[in-house]
Amino acid sequence: MANMIMRFPGGLPKALTLSYDDGVEQDERLIEIAEQNGIKGTFNLNSGAFAKEDVVYEPGTIHRRMSRSRVKEVYKNSSWEIAAHAYTHASLVGLPGNIATYEILQDRKELEETFGTFVRGFAYPYGAYDDASVEILKNCGICYARTVHSTHDFHLPTDWLRLPATCHHADPELMNLAKRFAEIKDWWDPMLFYLWGHSYEFEQFDNWGVIEEFCGYMANREDIWYATNIEIYDYCNAFSQLIFNTDMNMCKNPTSRGLWFSYGEKDVYVPAGNTVTF
């Protein structure tokens, strides 16, 4: 048998996504920089910790959460995904089960009301998680949850509820990893570059240049799919539902989206709801 490799939409071999936490004012500038370069991702928000509508911060305050109306305005017209990050930013580890459930579900519910959308992603506050938190997230209908582990590689996650990143934006290896990712041609696996951080850190360390350089370098590449976290999850999940015959020359796509893979030398596209021979 030949090797089979999942491809992203359009038959692309690579995907890039960002993940930024807390809903702070600096997200607005981050959206601008990323979107200028065709890049997007996911914002992880705490809907029980939005700032008061009339908030005025002390001069020099770096961590400036936005109010609900500002949050709505800033993200609603962007192409980014909204995900949960616990209602009050409490660490799930150590909380009684009912309270951890509330932290997740109430955040999900209020974000869904605010944005009129489905909220199915999560980032662990403080990166803290255990087996009990994973079970609760599953019961709350959360599909993936980001940790703060860095892999320094480009494999798709094997466990979406303990999702590691490629790296944080302050990682000294950032641009080396970006170059490796961009330059690799024939990898034997679909490749994902997953970057995370907090946008207030760019103000704190006066280094907006880090994300400008990264986005500028990664922009406009023909082999990269620029996606949100949930778009990547949904694509992989749909792909796992493909049905193949034993001779491995016929494939049925029971899902509602087009799917791509390569099999040996062949590039195969299976339209939604269709069966193809290859």
Q: Can you give the binding site for Zn ion, defined by CB under 5 A?
A: 21-22
Counting DSSP H helices and E strands in the chain, the numbers are 8, 15
Residue type, 245: N
Closest CB to Zn ion among residues 19, 37: 19
In contact, 64 and 250? CB cutoff 8 Å = no
- Nearest approach in angstroms of CB 81 to Zn ion is 16
Instruction: Decide the pairing of beta strands 266-270 and 4-7.
Output: unpaired
Residue 214's nearest CA partner among 204, 226, 228 is 226
> What CA–CA distances, in Å, run from 146 to 5, 54, 90, 128?
24, 32, 15, 10
State the nearest-atom distance from the C-beta of 88 to Zn ion, in Å.
Answer: 11
Nearer to Zn ion, 21 or 27 (CB): 21
**Residue-wise burial string across 227-253, b where 16 or more C-beta atoms lie within 10 A, e elsewhere:** bbbbbbbbbbebbeebeeeeeeeebeb
Least distance (Å) from Zn ion to the CB of residue 87?
12
Nearer to Zn ion, 21 or 171 (CB): 21
What's the min distance (Å) between Cβ of 70 and Zn ion? 18
Write out the H or E segment, with its range, that includes residue 104.
Answer: helix 97-115
Residue nearest to Zn ion (CB): 21
Q: How far is the CB of 199 from Zn ion (least distance, A)?
A: 11
Three-state secondary structure call for residue 60: coil
CB of 112 to Zn ion, least distance (A): 19
**CA-CA distances (angstroms) from residue 242 to 18, 187, 265, 268?**
27, 22, 19, 12
